[in-house]
Chain A
């Protein structure tokens, strides 16, 4: 049972435009969410996170939005750059769970930004 879902396997965007990556979750106990970026032959690197007490968090060109009632979060990248081309993983953590620190990941979305 996939508790974190990224339903778009891939996304293609023109340089300078906005990229929107989406993520849905089913476990209402998740209360901390993260986005990771992964380049080929490298490990995932932390990008941005949001606590469930917030609905928005910004860091430069990256903004994460959380809609708790819909169990949905999204990552906005504005403006998109060719160097943003990578696989993006959404992840969630259950603070109340027995597995402290464990992240549950989505399947990933391949973002391609065209010059």
Chain B
């Protein structure tokens, strides 16, 4: 089954404790991206990757890092999480003109 998976689905952490949210897709898509969803703001792009070892900033990249060492995986890294990064995060991969989203990771930073 073609899909985008994310782990963990839920995470509660404390300020400053480094964390990684994993994302994997099995569709051999070159383009992948990360979004965050906040009330009243819709989804906003954090980072994207057009292919292996090619990444770039989206609209809200501050406080995040990504890497793309292989085509299927695109982890999101928060080196020093802060409470304003409490949000719902979605990974997506692109086929033709349509992005396909993972199930989401709800992150709470205390």
Contacts and interface: CB of A to CB of B under 8 A. Distances in A.
Interface of A: 4, 6, 32, 34, 36, 41-46, 49, 89, 91, 93, 99-103, 105-108
Contacts of A6: 42
Contacts of A49: 97-98
B45 A45 contact: no
Interface in B28-75: 31, 33, 35, 40-45, 48, 50, 56, 58
Chain B binding surface SS class: strand
Chain A binding surface SS class: loop
28 contacts: A4-B42, A34-B97, A34-B98, A36-B101, A42-B103, A43-B90, A43-B92, A43-B102, A43-B103, A44-B43, A44-B90, A49-B97, A49-B98, A89-B42, A99-B48, A99-B56, A100-B31, A101-B33, A101-B48, A101-B94, A102-B33, A103-B43, A103-B45, A105-B43, A105-B44, A106-B42, A107-B42, A108-B42
Contacts of B15: none
Interface of B: 4, 31, 33, 35, 40-45, 48, 50, 56, 58, 90, 92, 94, 97-104
A8 B44 CA distance: 19
Given A42-B104, A43-B4, A43-B90, A101 B99 contact: yes
Contacts of B56: 99
B41 A43 contact: no
Contacts of A41: 103-104
Contact of B58 (A36, A91, A99, A107): A99
Given A43-B4, A43-B90, A105 B42 contact: yes
A36 B42 CA distance: 11
B41 A107 contact: yes
